Amino acid sequence: GESVGLHLPTLSVQEGDNSIINCAYSNSASDYFIWYKQESGKGPQFIIDIRSNMDKRQGQRVTVLLNKTVKHLSLQIAATQPGDSAVYFCAEILNTGFQKLVFGTGTRLLVSP
């Protein structure tokens, strides 16, 4: 079935710590994954993406890891800042020829100064 799940609903970290947000997906046909950040009152904002032919991709302070064997994604945020506080969603695009994002339920990241 179509489902993307998140292991933790809330993650609390101290400023400067590294954060890891995890996500499990169930559709082995998915070949493209995106992490979004959503702040209160705003739409989801693209953070980083990864295609299924890769297992790691790095951006500015963020890294996404993809483990296709266990259908698992993670988002690592280095030196977490208060401005990183938001809800983070992983999303997969199903390889059906049509574009359809299937979102996880979201993880709220709380960063304490």
Q: List, edge to edge, every strand of the sheet that includes 19-25.
A: 4-6, 19-25, 72-77, 62-67, 56-58
Shortest distance (Å) from residue 38 CB to another protein: 9
Question: What would the DSSP string read from start to end of 24-43?
Answer: EE--TT--EEEEEEE-TTS-
In sequence order, the β-bridge partners of residue 47 are none
Choose which of 36, 73, 88, 107 interacts with another protein (CB under 8 A): 36
CB of 32 to another protein, least distance (A): 5
* Residue 83 interacts with another protein (CB under 8 A): yes or no: no
Tokens standing for residue 44: 């989801």
The residue range among 16-24, 65-73, 77-85, 91-99 that interacts with another protein, by the rule CB under 8 A, is 91-99
Contacts with another protein by CB under 8 A lie at 31-32, 34, 36, 41-46, 49, 89, 91, 93, 98-106
